[in-house]
């Protein structure tokens, strides 16, 4: 018994079924599959899963459940396991995909995926999942619904524009589109009121969000999205993790004498990048000191406005993270004062956008 270290249950999740694989690892690093099964993706299946696992775990060892974030199908089992004091880890699907490829599997099915997940959970130290609080979960639902309706409204207004300048006009469709935009506007207004009410009634969220709204460029809706999509910045131990999660990490393209363009990876939460697009423009327009200085610095170096605005987006995200994590009042001149008064931080030749913003934001 002493030669074994821990168990891991890999769960490959579909709409109706959970493919389950229980594995164990010993002190030499050898992974052995103990048992496999299938259960229904509903509460009665989750209960039978716990019974099945307890029956096959012969030793009193640490146990972890590992699954992929498959849309919404994984949420019910993750919540159930968490409420029953089980350790749960949740992976982005691309991480599990590349891990399975590294093992040399040529076939793909639910059983192989579950086995690969259980092996991955044993060989790697993965973070334990922490669920959203009820209010943060509700806030995420509201902000995502707001985004969906806003996108539908944009489609309708684009269709209106297209119809207006088309060769043959159609009054019936034009009236429908006008009414449809009015409905979207009413629903968006109602959602914004619901978001404001939810925050006002939460004694923990309200004061912290009020501090973030003081940053020029960030309004209540944009801050609500940042907080909801990051689970209140829970689980991010440093700035790099948050930057990577949002897709603002810079990917290099260099090999030997070849040196390609560097650009942000965009492999992350696209909702964060979407909601920071307009706030970045407003932060520069309304002269938020640190954002304005960064914009001018990057634009002077690259001559590309959008690259400078992306740097400002990243700056706003990290400013919100720093205020949320450390508390305190927002000071617009804090970073500039730490950098030496009104003196600009001028990048040296060869400094990448990522290195520049990381160096400046290390003061936060």
DSSP assignment of 19-37: EEEEEEEETT--EEEEEEE
- Tally the domains of the chain: 3
* Torsion from C-alpha of 279, 282, 284, 290, nearest 10 degrees: -50
Structural contact between residues 85 and 61, judged by C-beta atoms closer than 8 angstroms: no
pTM of the model: 0.74
- Residue 210 inside a domain? The answer is no
- Residue 217 inside a domain? The answer is no
- Residue 350 inside a domain? The answer is yes
User: CA-to-CA distance for 270 and 229, rounded, in angstroms?
Assistant: 10
Residues 242 and 276 in one domain: yes
The CATH number of whichever domain residue 65 belongs to comes to 3.30.420.40
Q: Which candidate, 254, 260, 265, places its Cα nearest to that of 314? A: 265
Each residue's pLDDT expressed in tens, for the chain with a length of 364 residues: 458 899 999 999 999 999 999 999 998 989 999 999 999 999 999 999 999 999 999 889 999 999 998 778 998 999 999 999 999 999 877 788 888 888 877 778 889 899 999 999 999 988 888 887 889 989 999 999 999 999 999 999 999 999 988 888 788 999 999 999 999 999 999 999 999 999 999 998 999 999 999 999 999 999 999 999 988 888 787 898 899 889 998 876 555 665 666 778 888 889 999 999 999 999 999 999 999 999 999 999 999 999 999 999 999 999 999 999 887 788 887 766 665 544 443 333 333 444 444 434 333 3
Residues 163 and 255 in one domain: no
Question: 123, 157, 184 — which closes off a domain?
Answer: 123
Residues 78 and 119 in one domain: yes
- Residue 341 inside a domain? The answer is yes
Residues 325 and 291 in one domain: yes
Buried b (16+ CB within 10 A) or exposed e, 37-66: ebbebeeebbeebeebbeeebeeeeebbbb
- Residue 215 inside a domain? The answer is no
Helix 353-361 vs helix 289-302: angle between axes, to the nearest 10 degrees? 160
Beta strands in the chain (DSSP E): 4-13, 17-26, 31-40, 63-68, 87-91, 250-251, 254-255, 258-259, 263-264
Domain span including residue 166: 134-202
């Amino acid at each position: 018994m002493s030669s074994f270290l821990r168990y891991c249950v890999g769960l490959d999740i579909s709409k109706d079924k959970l493919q389950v694989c229980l594995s164990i690892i010993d002190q030499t690093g050898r992974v052995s599959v103990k048992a496999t099964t299938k259960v229904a993706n509903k509460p009665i299946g989750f209960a039978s899963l716990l019974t099945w696992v307890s029956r096959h775990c012969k030793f009193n060892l640490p146990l972890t459940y590992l699954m992929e974030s498959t849309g919404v199908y994984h949420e019910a089992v993750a919540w159930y396991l968490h409420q029953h004091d089980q350790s749960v880890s949740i992976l982005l699907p691309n991480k599990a995909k590349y891990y399975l490829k590294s093992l040399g599997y040529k076939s793909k099915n639910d059983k192989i995926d579950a086995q690969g997940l259980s092996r991955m959970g044993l060989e790697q130290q993965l973070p334990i999942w922490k669920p959203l609080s009820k209010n943060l979960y509700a806030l995420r639902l509201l902000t995502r619904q707001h985004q969906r309706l806003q996108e539908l409204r944009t489609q309708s207004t684009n269709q209106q524009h297209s119809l207006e300048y088309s060769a043959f006009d159609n009054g019936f469709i034009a009236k429908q589109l006008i009414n449809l935009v009015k409905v979207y506007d009413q629903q968006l207004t109602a959602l914004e009121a619901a978001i404001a009410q939810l925050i006002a009634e939460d004694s923990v969220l309200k004061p912290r969000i009020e501090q973030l709204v003081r940053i020029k460029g960030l309004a209540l809706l944009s801050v609500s999205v940042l907080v909801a999509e990051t689970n209140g910045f829970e689980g991010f131990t440093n700035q790099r993790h948050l930057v990577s999660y949002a897709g603002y990490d810079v990917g290099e393209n260099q090999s030997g004498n070849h040196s390609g363009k560097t650009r942000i990876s965009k492999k992350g939460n696209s909702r964060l990048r979407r909601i920071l697009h307009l706030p970045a423009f407003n932060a520069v327009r309304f002269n938020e000191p640190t954002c304005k200085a960064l914009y001018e610095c990057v634009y002077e170096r690259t001559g590309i406005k959008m690259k400078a605005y992306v740097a400002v987006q990243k700056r706003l995200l990290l400013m919100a993270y720093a205020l949320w994590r450390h508390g305190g009042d927002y000071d617009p001149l804090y970073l500039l004062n730490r950098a030496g008064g009104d003196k600009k931080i001028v990048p040296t030749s060869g400094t990448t956008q990522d290195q520049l913003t990381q160096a400046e934001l290390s003061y936060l």
